[in-house]
């Protein structure tokens, strides 16, 4: 009976869920504790720092959108929120219709103004926005929106029909523009569409900072458009989510979910049963033995664990980066992680026939450590390199240890820097020379589930292009990949870019990050997810049966 209940409750239909719950013994607990592998620093998961943190795992059902990322990383249309219609193919034109009854938890309606803000912040056209990525949004020519209305028409630049357009305006990307409008007492949409420089600067500043999460926050600035809303932020950074009574869709099963940033006490919390769901990078908390009352599953993510080289300091030049790559034991590091070496930079989200050949030949010299070649590349000059990662993280500590030992023979001294601040910020501020992280500098997966979107992490001017890399040929390939669905063409584009990227070495891919999901056997409807939204994509369906 228990296994039948578990299968049924993993379904998404509320009716099926309700009937199954009735058939199970016990009742749903009022509270669930959920651990994610990064800080909860911002409600805005679209900034450089916010995207690298764990907010997407926490807020997929707090800030909803026209789609969400399902269990395989695919985008699933969220018809509770609204609908998307293709009204033109060349150029691509989309109509976005927000549900008539869509309203924020503060009573303000969800409107097309929110789409305008999302586009403006991530399009790269308006200065001041510290957006993580421009992928997809950079190709939008304009957004037609009558302020306060529920419909927007989005027109793309001619010949820039983005294949994965369903990645745009999804859960966690749409923020409440009225919060900024109320603070500035301005019409945000009018200011953006008229490109009012002074107001755009103020809007960008608030978009970057007004949704930072701290204890004692002003809840009026954090309205929800989903089944849950923020109730509070605890000391230590945990965020308490409670039912949003104004949510117009199916009501969530559990009344309260506390989302905890990963800490050194995970094993203790699992042992004393004070946590229900743990969704972290495999090995980040050590072995993490599974007690009898928990179930464990492991699955590949869409993110690539990698070395991201700083644009300044000792790693600023390709010569130094290549030397460091030569003494990095990628084979040992991947073996320790229990997975193959990854070579993907522009096709990172999945392992398939297209990605298999990405730079395979050029990657050859960098498969195993060659300290002698590294020393020769540096002309015998000694060097000190600071590698940083968000800690504590047992897997990454082992990785840095392996690099330290290997590169010492090349005359390179590696300093291990455990960060308690965001990795992208530390790299940008010159506190470290190399960031060890996943796609875009993320602690978790970091992936959108779309390789075409993730590839923008190496595009000129992209926020999460943390190495500051710029190459016109690579930019051209990334742009072409975004509008091509032809596998043969994608292979050709990847083949053109790979030799350049292995020569310039802005990043060094190591292995595909694996995910560990540890779930109490009392829990139902929880599953793995390869994207940065993780297991939290359907938390409103979770239940703990007592």
85 and 183 together in one domain: yes
Structure tokens at 536: 């939290």
For 373, phi then psi, to 5°, come to -65, -35
pLDDT tens sequence across 483-496: 999 999 999 999 99
Percent of the chain residues topping a pLDDT of 70 = 95
pLDDT confidence of residue 355: 78
362 and 480 together in one domain: yes
CA distances from 429 to 211, 293, 434, 466, 546 (A): 22, 44, 12, 11, 48
Closest CA to 512 of 286, 345, 370: 345
3-state secondary structure of 177: helix
Q: What is the domain-level CATH number for residue 36? A: 3.40.190.10
pLDDT tens sequence across 159-176: 999 999 999 999 999 999
- Residue 455: inside a domain: yes
pLDDT tens sequence across 90-125: 999 999 999 999 999 999 999 999 999 999 999 999
CB contact set of 102 (below 8 Å; sequence gap of 6+): 81, 82, 109, 110, 150, 225, 248
pLDDT confidence of residue 25: 54
Q: Of 209, 230, 261, which marks where a domain is finished?
A: 209
pLDDT confidence of residue 14: 40
Q: Is the pLDDT of residue 360 over 80?
A: no
Q: Are 518 and 277 in contact (CB under 8 A)?
A: yes
Q: Is the pLDDT of residue 22 over 70?
A: no
pLDDT confidence of residue 353: 79
Q: What is the domain-level CATH number for residue 373? A: 3.10.105.10
- Residue 93: inside a domain: yes
Q: How many CB atoms lie within 10 A of CB 274?
A: 11
**Which segments within 164-315 are labelled E, that is strand?**
228-233, 239-243, 256-261, 277-281, 294-309
Q: Is the pLDDT of residue 329 over 80?
A: yes
508 and 519 together in one domain: no
DSSP letter (8 states) at residue 157: P
pTM for this structure? 0.94
Structure tokens at 76: 């699933």
Q: Of 188, 209, 230, which marks where a domain is finished?
A: 209
pLDDT tens sequence across 498-541: 999 999 999 999 999 999 999 999 999 999 999 999 999 999 99
100 and 33 together in one domain: no
149 and 242 together in one domain: no
129 and 220 together in one domain: no
Q: Is 283 left (phi over 0), alpha (psi -120 to 50) or beta?
A: left
pLDDT confidence of residue 311: 97
Angle between helices 112-122 and 177-184 (to 10 degrees): 90
- Residue 163: inside a domain: yes
The CA distance from 132 to 466, in Å, is 10
- Residue 203: inside a domain: yes
Query: Are β-strands 228-233 and 140-145 bridged in parallel, bridged antiparallel, or unpaired?
Result: unpaired
Write down the residue that tokens 């980066």 correspond to: 321
* Omega of the bond leading into 93 within 30 degrees of 0 (cis): no
pLDDT confidence of residue 351: 87
- Residue 197: inside a domain: yes
pLDDT confidence of residue 5: 35
331 and 461 together in one domain: yes
Closest CA to 175 of 104, 252, 272, 246: 104
pLDDT confidence of residue 24: 54
37 and 89 together in one domain: no
CA distances from 456 to 134, 348, 538 (A): 7, 11, 27
pLDDT confidence of residue 3: 29
Q: Is the pLDDT of residue 279 over 50?
A: yes
DSSP letter (8 states) at residue 463: T
Q: Is the pLDDT of residue 16 over 60?
A: no
202 and 219 together in one domain: no
Q: What is the domain-level CATH number for residue 117? A: 3.90.76.10
Q: Is the pLDDT of residue 1 over 50?
A: no
Q: For residue 15, what pLDDT band results from cuts at 50, 70 and 90?
A: very low
pLDDT tens sequence across 387-429: 999 999 999 999 999 999 999 999 999 999 999 889 999 999 9
338 and 424 together in one domain: yes
For the residues of 502-537, what is the DSSP string, one character each? HHH-SEEEEEEEEEEEEEETTEES----SSTTGGGG
Domain holding 312, by residue range, is 303-513
pLDDT tens sequence across 193-225: 999 999 999 999 999 999 999 999 999 999 999
| Tally of structural domains, the chain | 3
455 and 445 together in one domain: yes
- Residue 411: inside a domain: yes
Q: Is the pLDDT of residue 6 over 60?
A: no
- Residue 226: inside a domain: yes
pLDDT confidence of residue 122: 99
332 and 375 together in one domain: yes
- Residue 164: inside a domain: yes
DSSP letter (8 states) at residue 11: S
């Amino acid at each position: 009976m228990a296994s039948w209940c578990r299968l049924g409750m993993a379904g998404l239909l509320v009716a099926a869920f309700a009937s199954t719950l009735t058939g199970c013994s016990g009742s749903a607990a009022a509270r669930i504790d959920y651990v994610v592998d990064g800080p909860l620093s911002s409600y805005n998961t679209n900034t450089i720092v916010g995207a690298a943190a764990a907010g997407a795992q926490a807020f997929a059902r707090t800030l909803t959108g026209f789609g969400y990322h399902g269990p395989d990383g695919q985008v699933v249309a969220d018809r509770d929120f609204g609908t998307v219609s293709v009204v033109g193919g060349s150029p691509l034109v989309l109509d976005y219709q927000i549900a008539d009854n869509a309203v924020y938890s503060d009573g303000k309606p969800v409107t097309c103004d929110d789409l305008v803000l999302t586009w403006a912040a991530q399009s790269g056209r308006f200065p001041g926005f510290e957006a993580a990525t421009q992928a997809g949004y950079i190709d939008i020519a304009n957004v037609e929106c009558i302020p306060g209305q529920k419909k927007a028409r989005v027109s793309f630049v001619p010949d820039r029909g983005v294949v994965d357009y369903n990645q745009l305006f999804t859960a966690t990307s749409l923020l409440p523009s009225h919060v900024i409008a109320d603070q500035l007492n301005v019409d945000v949409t009018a200011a953006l569409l008229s490109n009012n420089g002074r107001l755009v600067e103020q809007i960008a500043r608030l978009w970057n900072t007004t949704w930072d999460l701290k204890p004692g926050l002003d809840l009026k600035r954090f309205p929800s458009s989903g089944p849950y809303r923020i109730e509070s932020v605890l000391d230590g950074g945990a965020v308490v989510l409670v039912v949003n009574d104004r949510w117009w869709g199916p009501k969530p099963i559990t009344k309260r979910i506390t989302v905890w940033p990963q800490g050194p006490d995970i094993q203790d919390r699992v042992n004393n049963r004070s946590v229900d769901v743990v969704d972290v990078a495999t090995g980040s908390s050590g072995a993490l033995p599974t007690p009898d009352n928990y179930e464990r599953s492991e699955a590949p993510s869409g993110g690539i664990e990698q070395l991201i080289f700083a644009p300044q300091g000792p790693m600023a030049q390709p010569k130094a980066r290549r030397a460091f790559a030569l003494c990095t034991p990628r084979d040992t590091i991947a073996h320790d992680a229990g997975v193959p070496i990854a070579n993907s930079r522009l096709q990172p989200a999945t392992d398939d026939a297209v990605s298999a050949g990405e730079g395979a030949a050029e990657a050859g010299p960098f498969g195993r450590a060659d300290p002698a070649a590294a020393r020769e590349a540096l002309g015998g000059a000694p060097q000190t390199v600071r590698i940083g990662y968000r800690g504590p993280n047992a897997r990454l500590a082992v990785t840095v240890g392996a690099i330290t030992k290997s590169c010492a023979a090349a005359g390179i001294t590696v300093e291990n820097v455990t960060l308690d601040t965001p990795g992208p910020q530390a790299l940008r501020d010159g506190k470290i020379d190399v960031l060890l992280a996943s796609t875009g500098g993320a602690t978790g997966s970091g992936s959108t589930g779309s390789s075409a979107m993730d590839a923008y992490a190496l595009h000129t001017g992209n926020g999460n292009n943390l190495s500051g890399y710029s190459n016109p040929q690579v930019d051209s390939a990334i742009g072409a990949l975004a509008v091509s669905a032809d596998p043969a063409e994608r292979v050709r584009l990847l083949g053109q870019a790979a030799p350049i990227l292995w020569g310039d070495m802005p990043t060094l891919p190591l292995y595909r990050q694996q995910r560990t999901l540890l779930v109490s056997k009392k829990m139902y409807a929880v599953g793995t997810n390869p994207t940065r939204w993780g297991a939290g994509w359907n938390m409103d369906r979770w239940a703990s049966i007592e």
